[in-house]
Amino acid sequence: MKEKNYILYSLLRRPVRSVSLILLTAFLSFSVFAGSVISVSLESGLKSLGARMGADIIVLPSSAESKTSFKNLLLQGTTGAFYMSGDTLERVKEVEGIEVATPQTFLASLKADCCSVKIQVIGIDPDTDFIMKPWIDESCSQELGDMEVAVGCRVTADVNETLRIYDENCRVIAKLAETGTGLDTAVYCTLSTMNRLLRAAEEKGVTHKITTEGEEMISAVYVRVKDGADIEQVNSRINGHVRKVTAVRMRSMLTGVSDTLSGVSHTITLLIGAVWILALVILLIAYSMMIHERKREFAVLRVAGASRRTMRSIILKEAALCGAAGGALGVIIAATCVFSFTKLIETKLGLPYLSPDAGRVILFALATLLISSLVSALASVWAAGKLSKTDPGIALREGG
C-alpha cells in the first residue's frame, strides 16, 4: 500500500479519533480567525473614524457638554439635538491660529415607527467643509444643491431616488462609502436645505428646542488650526473667548477611543494565546496517547520493511492532514458566525467596526490554515521522534 493511501486508510479506520483531532484543531482555527477578523475590523473602524473626523478641534454648545454627547459623537458618529447661534462660527473664526472653521447642523433622528429608517440629518457648508466633503467627493463629483442629499451606505435609498424627510422631498445624489460608524445611517445636505427641513420639522410639531425664525442655527463648528500653531493653545483661546461653547481637542478624544480599542484587542490576543497554549498541550497529549496505542501497528510496519523516516513521515502527514481539515472547518464556522453577525458584534462592542475586504479575509483564512497544519504537525513531532527510537521487537512483545 502506498504511503498516501495508508494515511487516508488509517484516518478513516478510526473515525472517532480523527474527528476528535479535527474538532480540536477546528476550535483552534476558529479562535484565531474570528479573533483576527474582529481585531482588524476594530482597527479599521477607528482608522476610518479618524479619517472622517479630520479636524483638530470641535466646538459644541455647552448644553452638549455631557460626556455621552462627546462619546457618541466620536465613537458612533451619532449626533445629538443641540444648537447654538450661527454667530458662534464668526466668533470662533476671530480666534488667533485658526486656518479654517466649518459649521455643521444636526437634525435629531426622525420620529419614525419601527419599520421606517431612523436617520440623522447633518447639514454642512459645502464652501468651507473639509470634514465630509472629501468623503462625499469619493462617491460623487456633483456639488450638493438645494434639496439634494448624500446618504450613508446604510440608509435604504439609492442614487436618484427621492427621500422624504418631514414631508419634504430630497433627491439622493450620492451613496457614501462605509465607515463602520453611525455616520453610515446619516443623510448629508447643505445648510440651506437643513434650515428648510428644520422648519418642516417644527411645522410638524417636532420640537428641537430651537427657533429658526430669522436666525441660522448650527450644532458644531469643526476647526483646523494653522500649521505650526499650538492646538492646545487655540483650544484654550476658543474656550476663553467664545461664550457658551465647549471646545474639545479631537486628538485627545481619539486617543481615549484608541486606548479602549487597544484594551479590547489585548484581551482578544490574550484569549487567543490562552486557547492556543491549552490546545497545543491537549494535542501533544492526544498524539502521545495515539502513538502509544498504535505501537504494535507501527512495529508491524517496521518489521515489514518501513524505515524510521517513513514512520515519522506517516505520523507528521496524518497530523498535518487532520490540522488542515480542522483548520478549514474552523475558518468556515468562524467566517459564517463573524460575517453573519457583524452588526450584532458592532452593536454589542459599541465601537467603530469596519469589516476587512475580501482579499484580507482570504489572506487570514490561508494563514489560519497554515498555522493549524503546522501546529498539528509540530505537536506530533515529539511523539513521532519517540516512536522512531522504539525497538519493534520490544513493541510487539509488549503487546497492546
Partner 1 sequence: MAKKTIPPMILLILGLIIAIGSTSFLGPCIHQDGSFGTCHWAGRMLLGLGGLMSVLALLAVVLPECKPGLYVGISAVAVLGMIAPGALIPLCAMDTMRCRMLMKPAMTILCGLVFLVSTICAIAEKRKKKAP
Q: Which stretch binds partner 1 (CB under 8 A): 40-48, 89-97, 303-311, 334-342?
A: 334-342
Return the closest-CA partner of residue 56 out of 241, 256, 235.
Answer: 235
266 in contact with partner 1 (CB under 8 A): no
Paired strand residues for 189 = 123
270 binds partner 1 per the rule CB under 8 A: no
Asked if 341 touches partner 1 (CB under 8 A), the answer is yes
Q: Is 114 in the site for partner 1 (CB under 8 A)?
A: yes
Of the listed pieces 108-116, 239-247, 279-287, 313-321, which binds partner 1 according to CB under 8 A? Answer: 108-116
Minimal distance in Å, beta carbon 114 to partner 1?
A: 5
**What's the closest the beta carbon of residue 343 comes to partner 1, in angstroms?**
5
332 binds partner 1 (CB under 8 A): no
Question: For residues 326 and 26, is the Cβ–Cβ distance under 8 A?
Answer: yes
Q: Per rule CB under 8 A, is residue 226 in the interface with partner 1? A: no
For partner 1, which stretch binds (CB under 8 A), given 10-18, 107-115, 171-179, 227-235? Answer: 107-115
Stretch touching partner 1 by CB under 8 A, among 87-95, 115-123, 240-248, 324-332: 115-123
CB of 58 to partner 1, least distance (A): 25
Q: Does 162 bind partner 1 (CB under 8 A)?
A: no
- Comparison of 269 and 336: residue with beta carbon closer to partner 1: 336
185 binds partner 1 (CB under 8 A): yes
Closest approach of Cβ 329 to partner 1, in Å?
Answer: 13
**Is 249 a residue that touches partner 1 (CB under 8 A)?**
no
- ∠ CA 86-89-93, nearest 5°, is 160
**116 binds partner 1 per the rule CB under 8 A:** yes
By rule CB under 8 A, what count of residues binds partner 1? 16
Tell me whether residue 26 or residue 377 sits nearer to partner 1 (CB atom): 26
Q: Could you say which of 19, 23, 117, 282 contacts partner 1 (CB under 8 A)?
A: 117
How far apart CA 183 and CA 66 sit, in angstroms, is 20
Establish if 115 lies at the interface with partner 1 (CB under 8 A): yes
CB nearer partner 1, residue 157 or residue 238: 157
From 37-45, 137-145, 201-209, 338-346, span contacting partner 1 (CB under 8 A): 338-346
Can residue 363 be called a binding residue for partner 1 (CB under 8 A)?
no
Kindly state whether residue 340 participates in binding partner 1, applying the rule CB under 8 A.
yes
Near partner 1 in 138-157, by CB under 8 A: 154, 156
For position 36 contacting partner 1 by CB under 8 A, the verdict is no
Does 111 bind partner 1 (CB under 8 A)? Our answer is no
Does 343 engage in binding with partner 1 (CB under 8 A)? yes
Cα distance between residue 225 and residue 221, in whole Å: 13
HSE of 344, CA atoms in CB hemisphere, 13 A:
5
SS (H, E, C) the chain: CCHHHHHHHHHHHCHHHHHHHHHHHHHHHHHHHHHHHHHHHHHHHHHHHHHHCCCCEEEEEHHHCCHHHHHHHHHCCCCCCCCEECHHHHHHHCCCCEEEEEEEEEECCCCCCCCCCCCEEEEECCCCCCCCHHHHHHHCCCCCCCCEEEECCCCCCCCCCEEEECCEEEEEEEECCCCCCHHHHEEEEEHHHHHHHHHHHHHCCCCCCCCCCCCCEECEEEEEECCCCCHHHHHHHHHHHCCCEEEEEHHHHHHHHHHHHHHHHHHHHHHHHHHHHHHHHHHHHHHHHHHHHCHHHHHHHHHCCCCHHHHHHHHHHHHHHHHHHHHHHHHHHHHHHHHHCHHHHHHHHCCCCCCCCHHHHHHHHHHHHHHHHHHHHHHHHHHHHHHHHCCHHHHHHHCC
Nearer to partner 1, 68 or 236 (CB): 68
Q: Per rule CB under 8 A, is residue 233 in the interface with partner 1?
A: no
Per CB under 8 A, residues contacting partner 1 are 113-118, 154, 156, 185, 336-337, 340-341, 343-344, 347
